A and B are shown apart, each in its own frame.
Chain A
Amino acid sequence: DIQMTQSPSTLSASVGDRVTITCRASESISNRLAWYQQKPGKAPELVIYKASSLESGVPSRFSGSGSGTEFTLTISGLQPDDFATYYCQQYNRYWTFGQGTKVEIK
């Protein structure tokens, strides 16, 4: 099974900050990586797919990069609506989520 490891588990930041979340795969997954945002009591929402492609309707302050085993999600200019938990997901072989990164208000 492919394991996905996110860091950090929790990130404290202020509005306007640039934040970066890292996701590592236990084996190469090419660019078959997605990022999701989930708020309490709500369904997850797709933010990034194919490592760096922005899902339709997602603000351009979100960006993704990486390939192989190391990936990052960057939010440039954190907005109040961005405080949430973010998950990476590999879909190269079956589907596996990372354990999540909670972005909280500093």
Chain B
Amino acid sequence: QVQLVESGGGVVQPGRSLRLSCAASGFTFSNYAMHWARLAPGRGLEWVAGMLNDGSEDYYADSVKGRFTISRDNSKRTLSLQMNNLRADDTAVYYCARGMGVGGYRPFDNWGQGTLVTVSS
């Protein structure tokens, strides 16, 4: 079955960096667009970033553009999120999610359990 396992979360000071990873199994990773989304305390879900199956295009929410970078390694079935210049309002549980089917704009049909990022001095 589809499994997505996030790692790399933790406590980090404002202005510092953190890299999240998502290990995928149970499906042909290179066939699917992949995304990061987050759930901040007391707030709703927010899409953060996405990348097409072949890595040819990436997309970012305005709130993270210029600070976060999404990448993938299809040979290792891994999705990553490099987060730079972190702010307190980036504190959230970060989820890795799979885009449904082939193609760009699709809903997310499988999610990981999430990894907590806390930005605090």
Contacts and interface: CB of A to CB of B under 8 A. Distances in A.
B113 interface: yes
> DSSP majority for the B interface?
strand
B45 A44 contact: yes
Contacts of B47: 89, 94-97
B113 A97 contact: no
Contacts, number: 58
Q: How large is the interface on B (under 10, 10 to 19, 20 to 34, 35 or more residues)?
A: 20 to 34
Given A32-B105, A43-B112, A95 B95 contact: no
Contacts of B39: 38
8 contacts: A42-B113, A43-B111, A44-B37, A44-B45, A44-B95, A49-B107, A92-B105, A95-B35
Nearest to A1: B62
A65 interface: no
Considering residues B39, B45, B61, B111, which has the most beta carbons from chain A within 10 angstroms of its beta carbon?
Answer: B45
Given A46-B108, A95-B50, 17 more contacts: A1-B62, A34-B107, A36-B108, A43-B112, A43-B113, A43-B114, A45-B111, A46-B100, A46-B109, A49-B107, A49-B109, A93-B105, A94-B59, A95-B35, A95-B47, A98-B44, A99-B44
A87 interface: yes
Interface string A73-106: 0000000000000010101111111111000000
A100 B39 CA distance: 11
A92 B106 CA distance: 8
